[in-house]
A and B are shown apart, each in its own frame.
Chain A
Amino acid sequence: MTRIHWFGVGVVAGVILGWPLAVVFGLAGLISLFFKSKSRLIWSLLLVGSLLGQSRLWQYHQSLSAQNIAPELNKALAVVIAPQDNRDGYGYLTLRLQRPFTGQLRVTITPYEHYLPGDLLTISGASQTPAIIDDGAKSFDYPTYLARFGITKVVKRPQLVKTGTVQRRWLALRWLTGFRQFLERHINLMLPEPEAGFLAGLLLGSRRALSEGTLANLTQTGTIHIIAVSGANVVIVAGICLQLCRLVTGHRWWSFWLTWGVIGGFVVLTGVSAAAVRGGLVASLTLIASHTARGNQKLPLIILPAALTLLANPYFKYDIGWQFSFAAFTGIVLAAPVIQQLLQRWPRCPPLIAQPLVETTSANIFLTPVLIWQLNALSFSSFLINPLVLWLVPLATMAGAGGLLAGFVLPNTLVRLIVWLPLHLILQIIAFGARLPWYVDWSS
């Protein structure tokens, strides 16, 4: 662990655990001064890091409370700043209000209205402060969920009118949203459901196309992480890209920069979710490490992306995708070597099974506490189903990505079948796992 890593640990701990931890670090640092301990530098770094994390959290709170949104909006000017999210029979838009107001809104519309980032609109309607949703069985902290996106107010069924102009600063996101929609449309034409929705989840991190049944199966078997774009997905894409670039350009530096560009594009394409950003940073650091011959250093890959993502948006700590992604990756880095050693005592285990078994078991060890804490549920079948499906995931991802390209040249029926096959098998295994009585849910 270098100084920057201790500092990173301080930032992560400061954002997640808050002021009491800073006090603990401070006291430990003070005590270490009296004992001339070598650890005083570490305590100082932890203290400064945690103070920085706390300051960032405080500053984020301030920026939320400084928003100025009138309770009744009458033809207020606003710009669409995120792709429209259609699900459950509704459309959701994120708007940023223009002068004289400041702040961001979540607007509920019908899924049959279509807007893109950058669209300038006038909005009329009553703005409300979001409330915690509690249906008796489960409670959902909607205000905190929205605060993650910098949103403090919601407007249901407002009157929206396009002014006909598009703000230039959103043009790149607008283009990427259009490209993502094009890919989603192409996937939907290429495959039937539920395979289409599953492939959209694998490639684009899109969950909205999945049916309730498929989502329930994924949750019950502890395989939901497959469709949440995380470090694994980004690393798969980055790996394919790096190999292709080296083949085509034959130049090390060109391949490096091109792959980095693809990682960035992929993270934006998948909706800049907390897990995707963290995954993008992991992939970038892996790329740098492999380029600078420091490929064996894994610990920075846990700490630095976590610290950087939390500094960028401290409310990522509430994001279940970020938590899953962070826990699973930490498990793979810390627990996998131990399990690998244990598995070596079983020499007959074929590598095709051994690697996914090691990765999923180690990821699950760290994921389980998060699952229990967040979902009040525990899936024992995840230890069986994950090794069964994970070896198929890269195959399905590559077949899907290849099918998207090949669909333009090869007969649709052939492409459809080749892409459908691994996806279907994964879903069948997951459906089988969901039928096993190995899922404990005590939330209701």
Chain B
Amino acid sequence: MVRRLVILIIFLAPFLSWRFGRPQPQLTMFDVGQGLSVLVEDETGWQLLFDGGPDNSVLAQLGTTLAPTDDYIDVVVISHQHRDHYVGLIEVLRRYRVGELWLTRADSKDPAWQELLAVAKQKQIPLLEIKEGMLRYLASGRVIRGYHPPANPRGDEAHDYAVVLTVEHLTTEDSPLGPSKFKTDLVLTGDAEARHEQYIGHCQISRVLPCPTTGAILQAGHHGSKTSTSEPWLKLLQPNVVLISAGQDNSYGHPHQEVLERLERLKINYRRTDLNGTIKIPL
């Protein structure tokens, strides 16, 4: 038995050194079918899981992405209360130690949502309400900034409370819209629609919040639906690459042809989980 174990360890040594190596700042958009789940890691190993997809497939994705001894996630974010975004998180909260749970509202009577809150309560995970203007400084020097929802959303649908977050880092460069201390690396939009993108776009006029800088990675809103990823939004962000999370042959037809044509017209690269599987990009 001991001999078998020794052979095993020798065989796996190169692989283990890779799995337990230094943390890399990267974004992983998991292929969770028709849903969304994105893992963000920074240089210090700090992790943020943005949504958990419609089922437990996120667990296998996490298991193959994180080191096998890693059972802690710093922050789990629920972008809004639709099942394709949070059902997988119920089991994530059960199995992993989670530092904080960020969400926008907690009033749904959906049994799945109630189960999620019950698990969070049982495991004493602190809940934090995300709002426009929220800032979280990380030890790596990066910043998480909340752009949506506003304090008083205009509608009462789940999408009106959709979370839009950016991951930024300190820079001395200037953005086209004026000097900025931070450069946007990533824009996570959940299921935010064109009207919410337009609301964030008001940053150009109101200057209450700095506009996200150009050249970031953008998560296409609502799985590439034509109701999101509007042209003004794309022109404001001028993203380096757009990531679309959609299920293979999904019944909604996501991503919609209009969005793909829009991206091609604006010469913006895009990648899709339904075609490319899980997507990993360095931050």
Contacts and interface: CB of A to CB of B under 8 A. Distances in A.
Interface stretch (A185-193, A254-262, A312-320): A185-193
A413 interface: yes
A113 interface: yes
B205 to A, nearest CB: 44
Contact of B94 (A89, A188, A391, A420): A188
Contacts of B69: 413, 416-417
A113 B11 CA distance: 45
Interface residues of B, number: 29
B60 A89 contact: no
Interface stretch (A47-55, A127-135, A421-429): A421-429
Interface string B120-155: 000000000000000000000000000000000000
Contacts of B66: 192
Interface string A176-202: 000000000100110111111100000
A421 B95 contact: no
Interface residues of A, number: 33
A395 B71 contact: no
Given A192-B63, A193-B60, A416-B68, A421 B55 contact: no
A-B pairs with lowest CB-CB distance, top 6: A192-B63, A193-B59, A193-B63, A112-B111, A211-B60, A193-B60
A391 B4 contact: yes
Interface string A360-404: 000000000000000000000000000000011001001000000
Interface of B: 1, 4-5, 8-9, 11-12, 54-57, 59-60, 62-64, 66, 68-71, 87, 91, 94-95, 111-112, 114-115
Contacts of B91: 188
Contacts of B60: 193-194, 197, 211, 213-214
Contacts of A63: none
Given A112-B112, A113-B111, A416 B71 contact: yes
Nearest to B19: A424
Most buried by A among B56, B87, B115: B56
Nearest to A420: B68
A89 B54 CA distance: 9
Contacts of B115: 112
Contacts of B94: 185, 188
Given A416-B71, A420-B68, A425-B12, A189 B95 contact: yes
Nearest to A391: B4
B9 A421 contact: yes
A110 to B, nearest CB: 5
A320 to B, nearest CB: 24
Contacts of B5: 395
Contacts of A196: 59, 63, 95
5 contacts: A89-B87, A110-B111, A110-B112, A193-B62, A195-B68
Nearest to A399: B5
Given A395-B4, A413-B69, A416-B68, A192 B62 contact: yes
A197 B63 CA distance: 11
